[in-house]
Amino acid sequence: MDLIRIYQCFCDRTRLRILHLLARSPLCVCHFQDILGEPQVKVSKHLSYLRSRGMVTATRHQNWMIYSLPNKRSRELEANLKCLQDCVQSDSMFARDLRKLARLCQNCCEPASVFATNKRL
Amino acid sequence: MDLIRIYQCFCDRTRLRILHLLARSPLCVCHFQDILGEPQVKVSKHLSYLRSRGMVTATRHQNWMIYSLPNKRSRELEANLKCLQDCVQSDSMFARDLRKLARLCQNCCEPASVFATNKRL
DNA sequence: TGACTATATTCCTATTTGGGAATATAGATT
DNA sequence: AATCTATATTCCCAAATAGGAATATAGTCA
């Protein structure tokens, strides 16, 4: 994963919010739709952009595609994800995203079992 | 200086090399031409891109435009410049840029007085 | 099978980006 | 004034990006 590619992935607000959320938990497309308040096509396209550049991985689970950060991460990616956490501390939008994520998890179940049922999450 | 804008500035290789060099020393356009081996128009345009986004400042000194990182830097910019230094440690191109910069400084004079003369640097 | 759900893709458009050739500009030097 | 030097800008063009509307696909469920 080369450095430029990381910055290219980071340089759009929607993608940055997605990555910031994925640093907390694997999520499916509809989670992003809910949390970001963006239309499906937009979310889906940014995820596919990130995926094509190796920035996220995806696995299907029944009807849902579960997106995660890759297990093996380069030093550069680690460093930049950490830096992002730092930078985002005082930003209200990113904070709101995290609050919404927390609420979602409350509403359904534990992160680990989020995808264990085929009901609308 | 907002976060997205930082990543937009960082997401081109030439700009990244420029910023990496500027983290060491203020430089003029012909320095960049020499070190990066890129044509004047390319260097100049990327500098003007960076400048228009507040990522660098420029002052004229006789015939030369001296580019620097801004004196006052946001937490985000500081963090990302630091992260960049980290990430770039093992990259041969960035290392080579620094060696060329060192050689340039040897050839002319101290950083502080680099621009004190109107001879070709 | 047929309907439903979650997601991806295609087609379209507008905007931005990156780069080169040529030209313009501003200050220095003669 | 004429020239030179360093730099910026303009005019191109090709490619990438971002986004929406509409449609396709894959899995699920009745």
The bases of strand D with some atom under 7 A from any protein CB are: 5-10, 17-22, 26-29
Res A110: pLDDT: 38
Assigned architecture for domain A3-106: Orthogonal Bundle (1.10)
Res A118: pLDDT: 37
Res B110: pLDDT: 37
**Sequential DSSP letters for A49-88:** HHHHTTS-EEEEETTEEEEE--SS--HHHHHHHHHHHHHH
Decide if B7 and A3 are in contact by the 8 Å CB cutoff.
no
In Å, what is the CA distance from B89 to each residue of A75, B83, B86?
11, 10, 6
How confident is the model over A74-115, as pLDDT tens digits?
999 999 999 999 999 989 999 999 999 998 876 544 343 344
Residue partners of A111: CB distance under 8 A and separation at least 6: A25, A26, A105
- ipTM (interface pTM): 0.89
Res A104: pLDDT: 83
| Residuewise pLDDT in 10s, chain B (121 residues) | 589 999 999 999 999 999 999 999 999 999 999 999 999 999 999 999 999 999 999 999 999 999 999 999 999 999 999 999 999 998 999 999 999 999 887 654 434 334 443 334 3
A115 touches chain B (CB under 8 A): no
**Residue ranges per domain, chain B?**
3-105
Pairing of strands B64-68, A57-61: unpaired
Q: Select from B11, B75, B76 the Cβ nearest to the Cβ of A11.
A: B11
Asked if the B3-105 domain carries CATH number 1.10.10.10, the reply is yes
B28 and B4 Cβ atoms separated by less than 8 Å? no
Res B107: pLDDT: 55
Res A113: pLDDT: 38
A76 and B87 Cβ atoms separated by less than 8 Å? yes
User: Which residues of chain B (7-46) touch nucleic strand D at CB < 7 A?
Assistant: 28-30, 33, 40-41, 44-45
Q: Select from A8, A79, A88 the Cβ nearest to the Cβ of B87.
A: A79
